[in-house]
Chains A and B, each alone.
Chain A
Amino acid sequence: METARFLLRRLVADRTAALGALIIVLLVVAAIAAPVLSTHPQDISEFNPPGRLQPPSAEHFFGTDRMGSDIYSRILFGARITIAIAVIAIGASVLIGIPVGLVAGYYRNWVSDALMRISDIFLAVPQIVLAIAIAQTLGPSIENVILALSATYWPFWARLVYAETSSALNETYVEASIALGASPWRVMLRHVLPNISSSLIVRTTIGMGGTILTAATLGFLGLGPPAPSPEWGRTIAESREFLPEAWWYATAPGLAIFLVVMGFNLFGDGLRDILDPRTRRSTDG
């Protein structure tokens, strides 16, 4: 309890981290309350062809799209997709990466070597390249974007946990508990995992931003959910045909992506300063 309050105070004191947190909270609120906050919630599934490509106005804050739907409302609903993709993909990567890293770091044998080599191969290529190959193969849908992202992101966590586990095993108290006959699982769950949790949290937060960007890129390339999904990346791709006249069509979803990714990056930076002092963003803090 004490530590939580301490963390909170530190966060509020760091203005940029607080701003990041605020953006994230707003994103979550926007996603949950999309039906209430949106001005034209029916525009997600119903279209109004005569009112297509209207510029921003009091009626349509961000204008209308090629089907005559309200872009502002669609962006709110798009936030749901963004959150779902990022949370599930990161969650899955963490769930795969942590056990792999723990096992590989704890037992130093050929299995751990093999596991780390496999993750090295994945890390040898920029994520987006493999994600494109996977998403392309499976076909465009939200599920496949999540699959592609999880398949390419888990090695990050495996690597991180592996390195931290290896170094944790050298700590005297861990050595001691092993000597006292603690089971491997007990050592991993009781001693190693708590020890590395803060760097995991930091990485996960910063990873969210990257995942959202990659997911939007896949959507832009036509590998995300199909029309008429309000996914942000695909909305930008749709808009290109109508530029330069319908400038608002591309602008609004791009700003949404920008703000959300920045939110996670700022928040992650702040968290790192507080939780993981070894890798502060700069020595003066």
Chain B
Amino acid sequence: MPVCHVFRFCRIAAAAVLALGAAMPTASAGGKFVFANSSAYDTLDPHAVFDVGRVASRINLYDGLMRWFDNPPHLEPWLAEKVDISDDGRTYTFTLRDAKFHDGSPVEASDVVYSIDRILAMKKGAYSLFEGTVAPGSTQALDAKTVVFSLSKPSAIFLATVPEIHVVNAELVKANEADGDLGTVWLSKNDAGSGSFQLKRYDPAIGWQATRFKDHFFGWDMVDNPLDEIEFRTVVEINSRVLGLMNGDFHGTDGYLPQDQVKRLRASDRVVVQEEESMRIFYSIIHNGRAPMNDINFRKALSYAFDYDGFIDNILSGSVARNPAPLPNNMWGSPKDASGYMLNLEKAKEHLAMVEGDIREITLGALAGYGQTEQAAALLQNGLNKIGVKTKIVAETWPVASGKMRDEQQMYDLLFLWKSTYYADPNNWLGEMYACEQIGARNNSWYCNEEVDKLLSEARVSTDQERRRANYEKANRLLMEDAAGIFVYNTKWFGPFNKNARGIRFSPIGNGQEMRWVSME
């Protein structure tokens, strides 16, 4: 992401026009869009959750100062008109645009201050992005339109995390606080935003509906026939989502369906499947801190024993792209010439022979309910079996696994899982997965390599884009050389939409669910 010092607003507008073709004068009723979502909207509080599966309630009902657009994602000012960054990289001054909340009151700097302090006080959702960087009470409203963030330490990724500061209507939330709960109970089922859509109905067991907010700051001139109503319904079963799209009950669903289902959708004349390379890598964590995985030869043996082609080409029908490194191929900082490991049992045996000491039974972790992780573990077990390494597969629920991931003793020897985009900066992957200071928190590999760590911490604070890129490329190579994990693929997004839907804009952060650009023909 190019860090220039002053953003101007024009770029989004241009992008919007580009996305929609020639803008026509706004017309009448734009219709309703029903999206079938795989995960349940348990809460609508934009500061309580921070996952990709429930991003729609955050980006449609709320606005942030900045926002991610398109693919590869670029960051643009959104509620902010411009941002000034001090030379030492620690003071960020945002100037707000004229915007209104859904109740008609103006969006002011004090609302931004309340929102960031609420995130810091709740310690949930996106909190960890700001922990240690933004101190509670350090953000100031200079006047109604100017808000200043004074960072505790320089951070190259701060701007990339600003979109997660969803601005809530401070007065409204405060009015609905109970016992100093920061309005969490109320906000979990109500809307205090300024976003493009305004909440109409919500039922945690069903989903939510919202109507177009006509006074949204960005205006609606750019969109021909914008939607009047959107509905996000929870539909857990894949088959129901697919059938619903094929018979027209739903107009969109998530883009990470199994390939067999994508095939069915493509055959339907009601559905168009859009394809994009996302930024969601699939890999296996290796517990680098425990024998025998602390031996590089054993890790290499692991990396050579996985059938990447069988997994990608057969089990996933070629629906994903091989990603040999921890950083997604399409993220800057990813070395273009990296080829990575292939299935090679001979080499695996060679490396295994160099491992000192006896090799015990290895525990392969998988996430219960996520078939792909089980299949990957089974495939690795198959390969390791052939080179004489005994393994045991353990599939546990995500809460159990994520608890164990933070404990050096309880962590599995290996664990297959995904790493999604929370913000589009290499630090989202490399800095969190392999920095020494993150050990036990987000570095679940107990991997700490001085050289890599130096590159990562430099890149985390540097404002020199070229230097950051070089550091990440080098760190990527070192991590591959070290076989720090088994890096498998980067997800492709196959977004199925009703063929009458126009203007879907995909970004790895919003997953194509920002509905303000969409219209129905």
Task: Identify the A interface with B (CB < 8 A).
Answer: 45-47, 49-50, 52-53, 66-68, 139-140, 222, 226-228, 238, 240-245
Q: Is the CB of B239 within 8 A of A46?
A: no
A sample of 5 more A-B contacts (CB under 8 A), given A50-B310, A226-B366, A241-B258, is A49-B307, A66-B315, A139-B396, A222-B395, A228-B393
Of residues 368 through 401 on chain B, the ones whose CB sits less than 8 Å from some CB of chain A are 368-369, 371, 374-375, 377-379, 381-382, 385, 393-396, 400
Contact of A45 among B385, B395, B396 (CB under 8 A): B385
Partner of A226, one of B237, B315, B368, B379: B368
Does B173 lie at the interface of the complex (its beta carbon under 8 Å from any beta carbon of A)? no
Given contacts A66-B315, A67-B315, A139-B400, contact A226 B374 (CB under 8 A): yes
Expressed in whole angstroms, the minimum distance between the Cβ of B397 and any Cβ of chain A is: 8
Q: Is B314 an interface residue (CB 8 A)?
A: yes
Q: Are A46 and B382 in touch, CB under 8 angstroms?
A: yes
Q: List 29 contacting pairs A-B, 8 Å CB cutoff, sorted by A.
A: A47-B310, A47-B379, A47-B382, A49-B310, A49-B314, A66-B375, A67-B315, A67-B375, A67-B379, A68-B314, A139-B400, A140-B368, A226-B368, A226-B374, A226-B393, A226-B395, A227-B366, A227-B377, A227-B378, A227-B393, A227-B395, A228-B381, A228-B393, A241-B371, A242-B258, A242-B260, A243-B239, A244-B239, A245-B260
How near does chain B come to A33, taking the closest CB pair, in angstroms?
Answer: 24
Closest CB of chain A to B520's CB: distance in Å? 29
Interface set of B (CB-CB < 8 Å, partner A): 237-239, 258, 260, 264, 307, 310-311, 313-315, 366, 368-369, 371, 374-375, 377-379, 381-382, 385, 393-396, 400
A241 touches B238 (CB 8 A): yes
Chain A residues whose C-beta falls within 8 Å of the C-beta of B314 in the assembled complex:
49-50, 52, 68
**B239 and A47 contacting across the interface, CB-CB below 8 Å:** no
Most buried by B among A49, A53, A140, A244: A49
Q: Nearest CB to that of A223 among chain B residues? A: B368
Instruction: Name the distance in Å between B374's Cβ and chain A's nearest Cβ.
Output: 4
Q: Say which residue of B238, B311, B374, B394 sits within 8 Å of A228 (CB atoms).
A: B374
A47 contact from B237, B264, B378, Cβ within 8 A? B378
Contact in complex: A227, B374 (CB < 8 Å) = yes
Kindly report which residue of chain B lies nearest to residue A229, judged by CB atoms.
B393
Q: Which of B307, B371, B394 neighbours the largest number of chain A CB atoms within 10 Å of its CB?
A: B371
Nearest Cβ in chain B — how far from A23, in angstroms?
Answer: 31
Residue of B315, B371, B396 near A49 (CB, 8 A) is B315
A183 CA / B283 CA spacing, docked (Å): 67
Between A47, A50, A53, A244, the greatest number of chain B beta carbons within 10 A of the residue's beta carbon is seen for A47
